[in-house]
Amino acid sequence: MERIEIGFIGIAIVLGLIGIRVPIGAAMGATAFFGIWVMMGWNVAAGVTRAIPYNLIGDWNLSAIPMFLLMSFIAVEAGLSRGLFGAARVLLNWLPGGLASSTVVGAGLFASASGSSVATAAAFSRISSPEMLNAGYNKGLATGSVAAAGTLGALIPPSVLMIVFGIILNTPINALFIAGIIPGILTAVMFIALITVRCIINPDLAPKTKFDVSAEEKRALIADAWPLPLLIAAVMGGIFTGIVTPTEAGAAGAFLALLLALLRRQMSFAILKKTAISTAAASAEIFIVVLGAALFSRFIGLATIPDWVIGAFVGFETWQLLLLICVLLVVLGAFLESISIMLLTLPILGPLLGAHDVNLIWFAIIVVKLLEIGLMTPPMGMNVFVIKSALGNQVRLGEIFRGVSWFVVIDLITLALLLMFPMITLWLPGLM
């Protein structure tokens, strides 16, 4: 049997194992080991399995993941994200659909700290969705805005997805972080514009709510929200100016989050213990997946699949190639979670993108946007199911999907802008 045939059989086996709910790290790692064994013998398979984990875990860039996770867990558990929705509501209540727009801003900031779109959707489905429903908001708008806003965490830095992308395709992580800022802000602005226009056209979607607070109460609400924006600005400012590397920024961010929690008397030993355990567990989960993907990437390379892919698409124009990749990632996003998709596809797509001279920093943002869309689309639509679980019988699943469909459309328009005008993404990294 030829190597290329073994490679494609290996890909089919991995997809089958994932389909029956085998953890993706184990599926890719085991398939890679046995595939290399079949192609090149036991000694080579054992040698690769020993060498790759050692070399990968020793990668300095990978240590950025637990640092940023620690920062995010401290920020969330110590309540540094508390008050985001209230402060955003003070600033945006004058807009039609102001509660939904406030959700976009508050959830976007929360997501950038938590690093998890799903966690953001779960939190704001309990914070803002009930308030919108009680105010008479359309159920689709009240839940769709939460599902869409949660996806901003993948794009607004710091982002674990961007770290994983940078490690797989050897792309500067600091540039990836900076590249996500303007597309992230653009996405939030597009969401708010959609909400505002829809509510102007159909005021019944979002009845005007009274939010009368004194000047002193407004100052208190805004003061309660300042730690998180300060933390994000400090971390990203350090990366943009080159004062710190992404890994150092993660460590500095974790320390600053701890310091802010202590200054606000929101840190205890129990919270510190919980954040340490959560960081270790989440880091181990990600590392296992990354190790399995690294082994699978080596297997794919030895099976000459990247060479075959380059040859198969050598006659394609770059725009045709990108269109095919977009369709592929949207389809996969409907069935798999984000990191799994990246680890499964990037080892194959990387050489092909290099052959077409595609800018990887720009392409990373395109990938993240596509994965964001996957979090809102059926049949998986992870954010949608999280919101349904949180709200129970208050809203039907179909109502959430109908509500979020508007945001999927506006996300596709934003994606088109990023594809047509790469400088939206590349301008800030070019200033570094």
Q: Identify residue 345 by its one-letter amino acid code.
A: T
Q: For residue 164, what pLDDT is reported?
A: 83
- For CA atoms 413, 416, 418, 422, the dihedral sign is negative
Rounded alpha-carbon distances, angstroms, from residue 317 to 58, 320, 322, 325: 38, 5, 9, 13
Q: For residue 263, what pLDDT is reported?
A: 82
- For CA atoms 203, 132, 159, 369, the dihedral sign is negative
Q: For residue 197, what pLDDT is reported?
A: 92
pLDDT digits (tens, 9 = 90+) for 245-264: 888 888 888 888 888 888 87
- d(CA 175, CA 95) in angstroms, rounded, equals 34
What is the mean predicted confidence (pLDDT) over 48-62?
76
**With bands split at pLDDT 50, 70 and 90, how would you rate the model's confidence at 20?**
confident
**pLDDT above 80 (res 170):** yes
- d(CA 129, CA 147) in angstroms, rounded, equals 10
